[in-house]
Structure 1
Amino acid sequence: MGTMTGSNNLQSLKYSSGDKPTLAVLDQLLIPHEKKYIDIPDVEAAWGVIRSMQIRGAPLIAIVALLGLAVDLNSNAKTIGELDAIKDDGDALMKFIETKLDYLSTSRPTAVNLFNAIAELKGVLQNAKAKFNGEGTIRGCLCKAVVQHTEFMLERDVQDNRHIGKFGAEEILKGKEGKVTIMTICNTGSLATAGYGTALGVARALQEMDKLESIIALETRPYNQGSRLTAFEIVEEKMPGGTLICDSAAGAMMRTKKIDAVVVGADRCCANGDTANKIGTYNVSVVAAGHGVPVYVASPFTTLDVSLTNGDGITIEERPSNELISSAKAPPSINCWNPAFDVTPAKFIAGIITEKGVILPEADGSFDVPAFV
C-alpha cells in the first residue's frame, strides 16, 4: 500500500505499510510553531499520544489506536516475542489482541468512534479466525487481518470526509445565491482525521466550489484547537476570508455580520440527535438559535450512537485542572471544573451531515437517527 498520509500537505500521521509497518503522528500540541512527528512503535505509545491530546479528533483517535496495534503486532520486538511464546493457539492469540484493544479503549471516554472501531475490528478478527483454513498460521492470519482492516479504515476515512464535505456544502447552499460565510469551533480538519476533515471538510468543499466567502474560527478555550490548529489549516490552505475570533465574540459577530451557518464536528451523536462535541459548542448553538443561524453537525457514520436515547447518557471527559489553570494563568490554588466536551440538544441542530447523506430533524425538532442508520 505504500505510505499513507492526509489528502493535502497537512499530514496528521505518516504510515508506511509492509511486513514491518511504521507509524508516526504529528504532535499537535506544538502546532503552529513546530511540526514534529512522534514515532508510535506500540499500543502504549498510541495510548499515550491520545491521552495527552498530542493527537485529537474523534476519527483520528480511532485510526491512530488501530494503526498503533497493527505496528505493535508486526514490528515491535517485545510484542513479537510474546506472540512467539503463545505459538499458534488461536484462542490465546485472540485474547492477547483483544486485551490490547481493551487497553486502547481506556485512552479517552467520550468519542464513540474509538469504541466503534474497536468493536468492528474485533468482529473482523472473529470472522478471520472462524474462516481460517489451515493455510499458513492462525497468528499470521490474525495479524494480517488487523493490518488489512486498519489500512482499509484509513482510506475509508478520507473518502468519507470528502462525501461529508460535498453533502454539507450542498445543504448549506440550498436556497442561497452567491457565496456563504460559515463559523466553526475546535478543529475538524485534516489534523483531526486521516485527511480532508469533517466540519472543516465542508469548508474545503465550499472553497473548491468557489462558494466560500469566509470562514470564522473560534479559538476554542482552553486548549485553543481553533486558534492553533484550525487557524493553521485555514492559512495553509489559503481559505478565503479566514478570521479568528475569541469564543465569547461569537454572538457579537452573528449580531453585526452575516453568518450563513455554523458547522461543527461531533464525538458522539445520540438516537435523538443530541450531540457531544468540544466544550463551547453548546454555547455557540444557543447563540446561533438566538440569531436565526442554522447549526450543522458534521458527523461520520461511526460517530452515530443509536444505543443512547439522548445526550444524558454520554460520558463527558473531565480534564485535569492544571490544563485550564496553566493556560489561563490563574492562581494555582483556585478550584477548577474543566470538561472537555458538552452536549448540544437536538433542538438547536439544523442537520447532521454524514457521508451517506444529511439527517434532517422531525417536526418536533428531534432526529430519528436509528431510522437513518
Structure 2
Amino acid sequence: MKELVARSLKYQAGRVQVLDQYLLPHEETWHHCTSVAQMTSLILTLKVRGAPLIGLAASLLVAYLAEQGHSKTQLSEAIDELEATRPTAVNLMHCMARLRTALQQQDFALAVVTEAERLFEEDCALCDRMATLGAQLVEPSDNILTHCNTGALATAGVGTALGVIHHAARQHADIHIWVDETRPLLQGGRLTAYELARWQIPYTLICDNMAASLMAAGKVDKIFVGADRIAANGDFANKVGTYNLAVLAHYHKIPFYVVAPVTTLDIGCASGAEIPIEQRAESEVTGVSGSFGHCQWAPVQAQVYNPAFDVTPAELITAWVLDTGVYYPQDVAAGVLGTV
C-alpha cells in the first residue's frame, strides 16, 4: 500500500497509525494499530472518531491485514467485526461494503488494498468539494455556530462543516466562530477549538446551553454542522445536541446547514425514525476522564440516559451541502437525494 497521510490517520512504512483524539488537545499520541481487536478498541473509546475517519481507519486496517497475508475468510470476518463497532455512522458501512466487493476479486488482497487507497483519496477530494460549495454560503463578518468536531481530525481531508469554515475564513478573514463545547465528551471544546487555533480562525468557546441566548441577542448569523447519517427524506443524525440547535435556529430564523459527503446518505433508510442511535456508557455523563485521571461529579448510583446522537427532521434544515452540490428543501422533497 502506498503512503497515505492525513491529520489523524496515516499509513507509512507498512504501519497503520492513528492519532489518539481522546488525549487532545494537550497530548498528541499516535497508536500503531495491527489488529481488528485493537482498532475496535480505538473506535469504541473514541480515540478514533468522526464518521468518515472511522470508515477510513477500518479500511486501512483491513488493507494492512491483506498485505500481511490474511485469508479471504479472515478478511471477511475482520470487515464484519469492524462494521459492527458504531451502529449510527453509515460511512463505516459504506467503506466496508466497498471492501466486501473488492474481496470477491481473484487477486483479493491487491483489490482490497487498492480500494482502501481509493477510499482515502476520494475522501480528500470530496472534502474539498464540500468546503468550496459551502464557503459560497458564508458572507463577510458572519458569526457562525458549529457543534461537535467536523474538521481534518474527523476526515482524511479538510473536514465537512469545519472544512467549509476553513475555506470561508480564507475568503473572509473577519468571520468568527462560536464553538459549542459539545457535552458530554467535549469534542467542540477539545477538538474544534484545537483545530481553529491551528488554522488561526477567530473563535469563542461556549457551553452548549448558551446557544439560545446568543441567537436571541442576534449574535449568530448561520449554523453549520456535520452528519453521521442522512435518511432519504433529508432527516439526519448527528452528535446529540444538534437537534436543539436546529429548533432554536428555526425559531430565530437563522440559516441551518448540514454538511456531509454522499457516503453519509442512506437511501435505504426512509426517515430519521429508522436511524439506530448508539447508547454510550453512563460514566461519560457522571464524570470526566482524560490524561489527568478521572473526576466523578454525579452520585455513583445516578441513572443516566446517554444517546450519542439525535435526529434533526428535514423541515428544520435550510440546505444540505454535499460534495455533489447544495440541495434545498424543494430538491429533497422531489427525491433528489436518491439520485446523487
1:96, distance to aligned residue in structure 2 (A): 2.8
SS in 2 for 1:343: strand
Question: Displacement of 1:294 after TM fit?
Answer: 1.1
Matched with 2:261 is 300
Aligned length: 333
4+ residue runs of structure 1 moved beyond 6 angstroms? Answer: none
Query: Is residue 158–residue 196 contact of structure 1 (8 Å, CA) maintained in 2?
Result: yes
Q: Does residue 1:347 correspond to 2:315, yes or no?
A: yes
Residue type of the alignment partner of 1:15: Y
Q: Which amino acid aligns with 2:4?
A: M
Contact 2:98 2:115 survives alignment (8 Å) = no
Q: Partner residue of 2:286?
A: 325
- How far apart, in 2, do the equivalents of 1:219 and 1:5 lie? 28
Match 1:245 to one of 192, 202, 206: 206
Structure 2 SS opposite 1:183: strand
Q: Give the corresponding residue for 1:42.
A: 35
From 22, 25, 32, the equivalent of 2:18 is 25
Within the candidate set 107, 112, 128, 2:85 is matched to: 107
Structure 2 residue matching 1:63: 3-state secondary structure? helix
Counterpart AA for 1:105: E
Write the mapping of 1:1-373 to structure 2, written as runs, cut at 5 A. 2-6=2-6, 11-16=7-12, 21-75=14-68, 80=69, 83=70, 93-126=71-104, 128-129=105-106, 141-170=107-136, 172-173=137-138, 178-210=140-172, 213-239=175-201, 241-327=202-288, 329-362=297-330, 366=333, 368-373=335-340
Q: In structure 2, the residue corresponding to 1:362 is in which secondary structure?
A: helix
- Give the TM-score of the pair, scaled to structure 1: 0.85
**Residues 343 and 68 (structure 1), Cα distance of their counterparts in 2 relative to 1, 3 Å cut:** same
- Return the alpha-carbon distance in structure 1 between the equivalents of residues 334 and 57 of structure 2: 31
CA separation of 1:317 and 1:371: change in aligned 2, threshold 3 A: closer
Distance of 1:318 and 1:45 partners within structure 2: 21
Partner of 1:222, secondary structure, is coil
The letter for the 2-side match of 1:103 is E
Q: Which runs of 5+ in 2 are unaligned?
A: 289-295
CA-CA distance at 1:367 after TM superposition: 6.6
Q: What residue is the counterpart of 1:87 in the other structure?
A: none
Aligned residues of 2:66 and 2:113 also touching (Cα < 8 A): no
Larger radius of gyration: 1
Aligned equivalents of 2:233, 2:338: Cα separation in 1: 10
Identity %: 40
Q: CA offset at residue 158 of structure 1? A: 1.1
> What CA deviation, in whole Å up to 9, does each residue of 1:55-102 have, x standing for no partner?
110000000001111112324xxxx4xx4xxxxxxxxx4333211100
Give the distance between the partners of 2:174 and 2:97, measured in 1 at CA. Answer: 38
Q: What's the offset of the Cα at 1:270?
A: 0.3
Contact persistence 1:42–1:71 (CA under 8 A) = no
Contact 2:318 2:328 (8 Å CA) reproduced? yes
Q: Distance in 2 between matches of 1:269 and 1:211?
A: 31
* Counterpart secondary structure, 1:207: helix
Letter in 1 for 2:271: N
Maintained 8 Å contact 2:65/2:75: no
Structure 1 residue 179, shift from structure 2 partner: 3.2
What letter is aligned with 1:62?
G
Task: Give SS of 1:353's match.
Answer: strand
Offset from partner CA, 1:91-145 (integer Å, 9 cap, x none): xx4333211100111111100001111112212232x23xxxxxxxxxxx21111
What is the CA distance between 1:247 and its match in structure 2?
Answer: 0.2
2-structure distance, mates of 1:152, 1:30: 29
